Amino acid sequence: MQYIDKIKEIVRLLKESQKTLALTGAGISTESGIPDYRSPQTGLWEKHDPIKTASLSALKKDPAQFYAINLERWTAYNNAKPNPAHYALERLEKTGLLLGVITQNIDSLHVKAGSNRVWEVHGHLRTCHCMSCKAEHDFSNLAARFKGGENPPRCLKCSGILRPDVVLFEDRMNEDFFQATQVISGCQLLLVVGSSLTVYPVAGLPGVAKQIVIINKTPTPWDEEAAVVINESAGRVFRDIMAELGEQLPGELGNTAENH
């Protein structure tokens, strides 16, 4: 099937589906300047062992090293801007063709793009909390304390160590994940965007959907089960999907994406 025929088929599936969701991974955010995790040579986990650097045990064992390795990268995530793929999913939700987005990303770009229904199954970087007294703080407070020389950043109330509200390796899944497993029940069409579909339990979610479409630069374990597979950048594909639908992205705001 030629590329343009795949775009037309995705649009047909979108129009016919009564319940469509998107499942997004790191690949949707690369055009916003955020590196993905598993691409050969360039993926973040090619450079760092996540169990040694981004796990709950790493945080507890050496919180200062944990923040020295991770915080600059996370702060850059918070400075990134949505790209055309994020805006397209927001627009599909507004037009009623998409129920919402289940995302593995912690970068808040779906929220920034204006999507209303977003299940952030690996958490986010908007808030943090104290590991001792559980007091909640803005993530910006954690970042500012670290930038001011406080490592590890500590709670203003009890001096306990702060941690971001993300799901680290070895953490239990969060409430958004359990909500997502309920929301996806009865899903007729799942748009998988920028996910390698190798990280469980999230990688098992496509098995619930009646049909899946995969938009990812590299192959995934679910490709043979998909109605359509496109190995292209998410931004290009969604620009073409929206054009086929006769929809324009808001001011092509994706062109303002910053690199970090």
Q: Give yes or no: 122 in active site.
A: yes
- Annotated ligand binding at 128? The verdict is no
CA–CA dist 56, 240 (Å, integer): 41
Token pair for 13: 């599936």
Please check whether residue 259 is in contact with residue 82, taking contact to mean a CB–CB distance below 8 angstroms. Answer: no
CA–CA dist 72, 30 (Å, integer): 17
- Annotated ligand binding at 187? The verdict is no
Alpha helices in 49-83 (DSSP H): 50-53, 56-61, 63-79
The CA distances from residue 165 to 38, 100, 152, 244, in Å, are 22, 21, 16, 38
Where would I find the beta strands (DSSP E) of 52-204? 100-103, 118-120, 123-130, 136-138, 162-166, 189-193
- Annotated ligand binding at 158? The verdict is yes
Token pair for 192: 């998988």
CA–CA dist 153, 126 (Å, integer): 16
Catalytic residue, from 48, 86, 110, 122: name it. 122
DSSP 169: B
Which residues contact residue 175 at a Cβ distance below 8 angstroms, ignoring those fewer than 6 apart? none
**Token match 């912690």: residue?**
106
- Cα 123 from chain centroid? 9
List, as residue ranges, the binding site: 130, 133, 155, 158
Tell me the catalytic residues. Answer: 122
List, as residue ranges, the binding site for Zn(2+): 130, 133, 155, 158
